[in-house]
Structure 1
């Protein structure tokens, strides 16, 4: 399987279909997530009132559940949206932001993992290991402090434990559905100086999930952010201008861009 070629085909389908991507997401990054979704070629909705979350999710082509700014009522909205999406066969992408930081946050994340048919879980290595272990106290915030290198074997095991496709982002990005696994090498250190690039990556994955299988969606979303980040870094003077150019770079991606610039470090199936 040529994952770069498949990413390019997925981008073409995405821009032809312009699917509706419903978000219940982080208030810190909500605007960036909407703009990234638009730039890649999809259409975002960001409503999160529990009274309408289910209806919106059921009518969408994909659903993002991002736990960044967690509140009891957002969990209510996520559960209703997730149930409606599952009933309509709408793929659900979970971003368990900060899982492991507190008992409450970890338990709510595990609740979603256990009760919903998630297509993809996207997080850093600390968040993923916390979910796989089902315990809190290992990740104090949204940035990973785990310096252990992600390997093909580790990402495959995480996917098998969590029983879904996992996308682990960090210095080296990794994706696995339990059978197919890949390590990806695109990106720039400037991505860590702008808040919300992880949340935006989750939105990109959800956009691709509307038009492709979960593994291809996760790979395509991660490649899109990594390549766009590299291109934006080349013309940026710092985090402020990088933030500006990142959205432009997402918009300018083409199918051939993945073949030219994509960095597949290891692929195994």
Structure 2
């Protein structure tokens, strides 16, 4: 866990926020709130008061004692697909690939383990009418530790990743699929809230119920709902779909 100076901020995660109602916590020059989040993504920082607040990337870096900390948090939005217009005027030069350091690999493992615990015990577990197998009692102590701001130890990271990769863990309860479930859940809730057509709302709610019961949506269901996600969304959960993605 990062140690902020007294009165400082701690980065917690990158997560979804409501684009219609959420504003960056940073203050403008005249004391007003900064920008919103049209893409629905924000960096969540824990303040000196112990509460969490949303920030844009630049504002978050400005608030942190070490801006590089922002690149070291779990990302719960990576299975989203946000359409962006190509910018051919600012193409970065190709970078030479390099081998990750031991510290970088350990950080990636810790973030993966943290994300898996939070997905099973909070993010996906909170989906209405979700199947009860999502919440795993063996992870409760680790979830409480994370919720209180603690970092997982190396031994705890190994334990969590062993659970995630175990042959006893169904594909639908592994990392990639849980990220897909969480992402689709967020997008369906936004679509339901934005719709004023009763038939469309009923259709979207039926998809949401299906997602909660089966922890998967087909490409046809995603297309019918108008949900844009990662091109391989839910592929890891379908039988004979080319295998499950590896975390490392």
For the criterion TM > 0.5, the same-fold answer is no
Higher strand share: 1
TM-score scaled by length of structure 2: 0.30
Higher relative contact order (CA 8 A, sep 6+): 1
TM-score scaled by length of structure 1: 0.28
Larger CA Rg, structure 1 vs 2: 2
